Chains A and B, each alone.
Chain A
Amino acid sequence: MTEVVDIDDVTVVLDDRVVLSDVDLHVSQGEVVAVLGPNGSGKSTLIRAALGLAPVRQGDIRLFGTPISQFRNWQRVGYVPQRSTAASGVPASVREVVAAGRLARRRPFQRADARDRETVEQAIALVGLTDRSDDRVDRLSGGQQQRVLVARAAAGDPDLLVLDEPNAGIDQTSQEAFARALRTFVASDRTVLLVLHQLGPLGPLVDRAVVLDAGRVLREGPLPIPADVTGMPQEHAHSEHRETGLFG
Chain B
Amino acid sequence: MIVLADFMQRALLAALLTGLAAPAVGTYLVQRRLALMGDGIGHVALTGVALGLLTGWAPVWTAVVVATLGAVAIELLREHGRASADVALAMLFYGGIAGGVLLVGLAGISAATLTTYLFGSVTTVSVGDLVLIAALTVVVLVLCIGLRPQLFAVCQDEEFARAAGIPVRVYSMLIAAMAAVTVVVAMRTVGLLMVSALMVVPVATAQQLARGFRATFSLALLLGVAASLTGVTLSYYVDVAPGAAIVVVALFGFTLAWPAGSLLRRQRFAGQRAETGRRGHVAAEEHVHEHDAECGHPGVPHDDHVDYLHGGHLHARHGRHYDEH
Contact = CB atoms under 8 A, between A and B. Distances in A.
Interface stretch (B63-71, B243-251, B288-296): B288-296
A40 to B, nearest CB: 18
A89 B32 contact: yes
Nearest to A181: B318
A141 B290 contact: yes
B213 interface: yes
B31 interface: yes
Interface in A70-102: 72, 74-75, 77, 79, 81, 83, 86, 88-93, 95-97, 99-101
Interface string A46-65: 00100111000000000000
B321 A126 contact: yes
A158 to B, nearest CB: 10
A234 interface: no
Contact of A122 (B207, B290, B299, B321): B321
Contacts, number: 163
Given A89-B31, A176-B299, A53 B163 contact: yes
Contacts of A93: 211-213
B305 interface: no
Given A90-B31, A131-B289, A177-B295, A188 B146 contact: no
Given A90-B27, A176-B299, A125 B314 contact: yes
Contacts of A141: 286, 290
A90 B163 contact: no
Nearest to B32: A89
A203 interface: no
Interface stretch (B39-47, B111-119, B148-156): B148-156
B266 interface: no
Contacts of A218: none
B173 interface: no
B5 interface: no
Interface in B267-325: 286, 289-295, 297, 299-300, 302, 310, 314, 317-318, 320-322, 325
B290 A96 contact: no
B157 interface: yes
Given A74-B163, A134-B211, A176 B317 contact: no
B223 to A, nearest CB: 14
Interface in B136-165: 146-147, 149-150, 152-153, 155-157, 159-165
Contacts of A185: 322
A177 B31 contact: no
B169 interface: no
A53 B320 contact: no
Given A92-B156, A100-B160, A177-B297, A157 B325 contact: yes
A108 interface: yes
Nearest to B292: A128
A131 B318 contact: no
A223 interface: no
Nearest to B309: A131
Interface in A119-165: 122-123, 125-132, 134-136, 141, 143-144, 147, 149, 152, 156-157, 162
A12 B302 CA distance: 46
Contacts of A156: 164
A104 interface: yes
A136 B211 contact: yes
Nearest to A152: B160
Given A91-B213, A92-B212, A171-B290, A51 B163 contact: yes
B35 interface: yes
Contacts of B156: 88, 92, 97, 100
Q: Rank and list the top 8 A-B pairs by shortest CB-CB distance, nearest first.
A: A74-B165, A128-B292, A93-B212, A128-B293, A79-B163, A125-B317, A90-B31, A174-B293
Interface of B: 27, 30-33, 35, 146-147, 149-150, 152-153, 155-157, 159-166, 203, 207, 210-214, 216-217, 286, 289-295, 297, 299-300, 302, 310, 314, 317-318, 320-322, 325
25 contacts: A53-B159, A72-B165, A79-B163, A83-B157, A88-B33, A89-B32, A90-B30, A90-B213, A90-B216, A91-B211, A96-B213, A99-B149, A100-B156, A103-B153, A103-B164, A104-B166, A126-B317, A126-B318, A128-B293, A128-B310, A144-B289, A156-B164, A173-B297, A173-B302, A181-B318
